Structure 1
Amino acid sequence: MLNAVVASDGSAAAQLPAAAGSLANPPSLSCYLNEPGQPVFFLIGTDLEGPLCGLVQQGGATFAVMAGAPPGWNARFVAVY
């Protein structure tokens, strides 16, 4: 599980460990959002409405990424590999 704070542009990212794989052999990924101070995490979908969650390969590293999220919220990435 990796954590990040959503930036002012609505994005968040966390580098996955090398053992998690690559885009050629990706891990299973779930993404969650939490409003600071609230006890609830919301699961982020992939339906192109609202925040988006996915994987990006850059410079040999794999990153879990989120876009379109509320700035300042907590992002949580869970990769199963």
Structure 2
Amino acid sequence: METLTTRVFNNGNSQAVRIPAEFRLDTDQVSISRNEAGDLIIHPLGAKRGTALMQALQALGEVDAGFVAALEADRESPLPMQEREDLRSTC
């Protein structure tokens, strides 16, 4: 698994992390949580950009209920948790 070091900076009253291009997210929203070990977990939330397209395709009869159900099931299934090296013990 690839590990990179990046920069943390202040953005107004918030703190931000620069995400390198190799880890680019294809969404404009994420959920963030902390696990029992104190690690931050960033989970991309589904982009809503396709909503208008899906509505138009449905109106034209180009997609059926099975296709929409398959897309929704795929979106709701979580990605497997990534294994990460604990870097705190090496500092």
Q: TM-score range by the shorter chain?
A: under 0.3
Question: Relative to total residues, which structure has the larger strand share, 1 or 2?
Answer: 1
Question: Relative to total residues, which structure has the larger helix share, 1 or 2?
Answer: 2
Q: Tell me: higher relative CO, structure 1 or 2? Use CA pairs within 8 A at least 6 residues apart.
A: 1
